């Protein structure tokens, strides 16, 4: 990919890397941060951050998108840098998410002008001063990339918090990791993990507004298993089959990486079902089409968790135990899947338990419809902004959310901290 990869971090970033030893090393390093074994250790603060989301929704429900972005960014920031993100005005969110959304836009070949370089790669060879179409992309030779500086700051801080940045710096000499590689490894937590996770939660809200009957079923289960005096925990998961099915259906109904994320390419000529696929052909898994196939998912645009409840008339055997392919396939499958799945489960379970999520009403009290097809148009997608009403289900639940939220803030205070870096000003001061 010329624009996203060659003019960006290129072969220094796992996401772009060709298959080989260096990619295997990066994959292993990423697993040290967010591998399946690791992410179980993050459950406590992930759970606490999701309690804070519930608290925020009580006080400021209109800003639900920003609460989700803060939550997702804070979780990866604690993992990466040992520091939480307490406000949605923190520049790490406002600036970094904007950059990541722009990157996801750039990732769609042919969509906007810079992508002409994808079709005519020679256009990328012009020096930046005479190539306005490069939009400043591809400047080489910067001192320290932004995420390298953040990681270095965390790794050398006096704080006793263990974090992924420290592990990366411990391993760096052994593997001769370059500054760009260190930057990519730590930055990928944000790049791959914050917009994707928060977009999934926005999709969840849209589904609740458009298909209110599914919420009612979830309430029945949650009231029976959990009750109003505490919110759901990870231990409740086996007893919440409908909520689990709800989460699966969110992943399927509108998968954030609509065409399976980054493109793949065969490393040698291949034949598949009579098709000849030459080496290096761009191959994209059409997740949207797979998840909307009438055979496996009748009425595919209907949000219907019962597709995933065992024994229900609507359930279908779908390839794979999980029942969805939202995180890709094979050896390039998403490195953060475990983290994303457990975080999405606990947050959706808590929000279903705690809130009525309904369509907004106009001045005359009439419900304003939502459009289940109105999504952004990038490599990752999320619903375009829409208004809704998010209110606690009853006073007892509200009191529980307040109590648990305050306790969570106290428990999370060990991760309070500031960074001295701002992305918007960083490169102006950093020596080129
Ligand atoms: C709902 C949340 C998420 C979704 C839907 C998602 C989806 C995906 C998809 C579809 C891919 C491409 C898979 C392929 O090429 O076959 C991918 C790759 C990747 N994801 Fe995620 N992701 C999510 C969250 C995360 C998180 C939280 C992290 C890390 C903290 C992460 C890290 C990565 C990395 C590093 C890759 C590149 C893997 C490689 O090429 O070796 N993702 N993700």
Q: How confident is the model at residue 427 (pLDDT cuts 50, 70, 90)?
A: low
Atom of ligand 1 nearest to the CA of 72: 27
Q: Which domain holds residue 75?
A: 16-429
By the 8 A CB rule, do 17 and 184 touch? Answer: no
Nearest residue (by CA) to ligand 1, atom 6, is 327
Nearest residue (by CA) to ligand 1, atom 16, is 328
pLDDT tens column, 37-59:
999 999 999 999 999 999 999 99
Whether 10 maps to a domain, the answer reads no
Q: Is the pLDDT assigned to residue 102 strictly greater than 80?
A: no
What average pLDDT does the segment 63-72 reach? 95
242 Cβ contact partners less than 8 Å away, ≥ 6 residues apart: 217, 218, 220, 221, 305, 309
Chain center to CA of 99: 14
Nearest residue (by CA) to ligand 1, atom 37, is 15
Mutate to test the pocket of ligand 1, among 327, 332, 380, 381 (most ligand atoms within 8 A of CB): 327
pLDDT tens column, 201-259:
999 999 999 999 999 999 999 999 999 999 999 999 999 999 999 999 999 999 999 99
Pocket of ligand 1 (CB under 6 A): 14-15, 27, 30, 34, 76, 188-189, 192-193, 196-197, 200, 256-257, 260-262, 326-329, 332-336, 339-340
Kindly give the distance from the C-alpha atom of residue 182 to the centroid of ligand 1, in angstroms, as a whole number: 18
Stretch (H or E) spanning 275: strand 275-277
Whether 1 maps to a domain, the answer reads no
Which of the two residues, 3 and 224, has the higher pLDDT score? 224
Q: Is the pLDDT assigned to residue 95 strictly greater than 90?
A: no
170 Cβ contact partners less than 8 Å away, ≥ 6 residues apart: none
Q: Is the pLDDT assigned to residue 141 strictly greater than 70?
A: no
User: DSSP secondary-structure letter at 391?
Assistant: E
Whether 4 maps to a domain, the answer reads no
Tokens representing residue 120 in the block: 């005519």
Tokens 């005479």 map to which residue? 130
Atom of ligand 1 nearest to the CA of 262: 15
By the 8 A CB rule, do 244 and 237 touch? Answer: yes
Please tell me the pTM assigned to this model: 0.94
**Per-residue model confidence (pLDDT) at position 432:** 42
Kindly give the distance from the C-alpha atom of residue 180 to the centroid of ligand 1, in angstroms, as a whole number: 20
Whether 211 maps to a domain, the answer reads yes
Tokens 């810079």 map to which residue? 114
pLDDT tens column, 183-196:
999 999 988 888 89
Whether 232 maps to a domain, the answer reads yes
pLDDT tens column, 271-329:
999 999 999 998 999 999 999 999 999 999 999 999 999 888 888 878 777 899 999 99
Q: What is the domain-level CATH number for residue 183?
A: 1.10.630.10
Q: Which CB contacts under 8 angstroms, 24+ apart, belong to 219-224? A: 219/352, 219/353, 219/393, 222/349, 222/352, 222/353
Tokens 């983290």 map to which residue? 339
Tokens representing residue 34 in the block: 């967010």
The Cα–Cα gap between 399 and 404 comes to 9
Whether 5 maps to a domain, the answer reads no
User: DSSP secondary-structure letter at 4?
Assistant: I
**Per-residue model confidence (pLDDT) at position 419:** 78
Whether 3 maps to a domain, the answer reads no
pLDDT tens column, 339-350:
999 999 999 999
Atom of ligand 1 nearest to the CA of 199: 1
User: How many domains does the chain fold into?
Assistant: 1
């Amino acid at each position: 990919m010329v624009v996203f990869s060659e003019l960006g971090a290129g072969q220094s970033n796992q996401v772009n890397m060709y298959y080989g030893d260096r990619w295997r090393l990066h994959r292993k390093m990423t697993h040290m941060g967010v591998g399946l074994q690791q992410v179980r250790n993050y459950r406590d603060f992930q759970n606490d951050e999701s309690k804070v989301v519930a608290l925020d929704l009580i006080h400021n429900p209109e800003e639900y998108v920003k609460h989700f972005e803060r939550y997702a960014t804070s979780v990866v920031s604690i993992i990466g840098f040992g520091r939480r993100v307490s406000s949605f005005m923190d520049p790490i969110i406002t600036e970094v998410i904007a950059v990541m959304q722009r990157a996801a836009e750039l990732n769609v070949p042919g969509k906007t002008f810079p992508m002409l370089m994808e079709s005519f790669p020679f256009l990328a060879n012009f020096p930046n001063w005479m190539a306005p179409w490069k939009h400043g992309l591809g400047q080489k030779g910067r001192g320290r990339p932004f995420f390298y500086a953040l990681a270095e700051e965390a790794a050398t801080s006096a704080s006793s918090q263990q974090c992924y940045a420290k592990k990366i710096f411990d391993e760096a000499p052994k593997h001769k990791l370059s500054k760009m590689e260190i930057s990519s490894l730590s930055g990928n937590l944000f790049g791959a993990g914050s917009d994707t996770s928060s977009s999934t939660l926005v999709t969840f809200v849209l589904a609740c507004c458009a298909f209110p009957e599914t919420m009612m079923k979830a309430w029945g289960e949650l009231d029976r298993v959990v009750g109003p005096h505490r919110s759901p925990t990870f231990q409740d998961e086996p007893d919440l089959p409908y909520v689990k099915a709800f989460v699966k259906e969110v992943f399927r109904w509108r998968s954030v990486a609509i065409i399976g994320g980054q493109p793949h390419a065969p490393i040698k000529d291949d034949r598949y079902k009579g098709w000849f696929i030459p080496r290096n052909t761009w191959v994209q898994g059409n997740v949207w089409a797979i998840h909307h196939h009438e055979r496996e998912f009748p009425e595919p645009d209907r949000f219907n968790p019962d597709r995933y409840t065992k024994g229900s008339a609507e359930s279908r055997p779908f390839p794979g135990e999980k029942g969805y392919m939202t995180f890709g396939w094979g050896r390039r499958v998403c490195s953060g899947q475990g983290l994303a799945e457990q975080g999405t489960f606990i947050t959706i379970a808590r929000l279903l338990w705690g809130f009525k999520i309904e369509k907004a009403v106009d001045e005359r009290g009439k419900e304003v419809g939502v459009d289940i097809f109105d999504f952004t148009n990038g490599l990752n997608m999320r619903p375009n902004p829409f208004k809704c009403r998010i209110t606690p289900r009853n006073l007892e639940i509200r009191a529980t959310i307040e109590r648990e939220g305050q306790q969570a803030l106290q428990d999370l205070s060990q991760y309070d901290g500031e960074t001295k870096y701002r992305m918007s000003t960083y490169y102006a001061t950093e020596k080129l």
